Amino acid sequence: MAPPNFQQTRDAIVTSEFLHWEEATQKAALFCAKNQKDKDTPLVWATVNGFLDKIPAHLLCEEDYTNPDSYGWNLIHYALAHENLGQIPLSLITKNRLTTPCATDKNTPLHYGALFSLMKHLISFCPKGAVQEEGLLLKNKKGQNVLECAIQTNQLHYLPSNTLSLKVLLSLLANPTVTRTIHPEDLAWIQIEKKTQKNAALKSSFQALTSFSS
């Protein structure tokens, strides 16, 4: 007997009939491609549409969540892009996972969090310490780091406090792109960071930025 196809598996996941299938059938069905052209699987579909919690966790290993598909995305990317990150095991949302670049555009999940205006969602499901400065400074194919992307989309203020060192904060304030596009909420976040790092140059840079932005 042939394993269930994409449509059958998708419908079974929605109705929970999937839970009554034999384990070998479940595993085979989760990875059957929609068709030759569209490589999406029922597992990806469930992640995108918020049904991942209807799939028994013991059917999936770490690689099933983290191995990239033909588009260069893994389940963490799909879950983030569709605001379903809460269905990914917390243990998998590590610093290394957040800084792994997509093969096609070199964007990391942190980049996507900024570019898709989903940084708040991303941060809310990140373990403490998973977001660190080195990850925010990684550049994508366009040469943009996460901070620059976050400023463009008004996502900077969602970053955990004390994420940036004094050196990076100063370079951020000196960046012309920041002075042209900074949003008041992001400006307020920088001000809070400034207060935690007493430094004359930082104070001067922030005053200049505030004057420019007002």
The pLDDT tens digits for 93-102 are 999 999 999 9
CB 170 within 8 A of CB 202: yes
In this predicted structure, the answer to whether residue 207 has a pLDDT above a threshold of 90 is no
In this predicted structure, the answer to whether residue 148 has a pLDDT above a threshold of 60 is yes
pLDDT digits over 61-86, tens only?
999 999 998 889 999 999 999 999 99
In this predicted structure, the answer to whether residue 213 has a pLDDT above a threshold of 60 is no
- Tell me what pLDDT residue 10 has: 96
pLDDT digits over 42-55, tens only?
999 999 999 999 99
Three-state secondary structure call for residue 139:
strand
- Tell me what pLDDT residue 201 has: 62
The better pLDDT of the pair 147, 189 is held by 147
- Tell me what pLDDT residue 171 has: 73
Counting residues of the chain whose pLDDT is more than 70, the rounded percentage is 86
- Tell me what pLDDT residue 2 has: 74
| Segments in the chain forming alpha helices (H) | 6-15, 23-30, 42-48, 62-66, 75-81, 95-98, 109-115, 119-124, 133-136, 146-152, 166-174, 176-181, 184-196, 200-213
How far, in Å, CA of 42 to CA of 8, rounded? Answer: 9
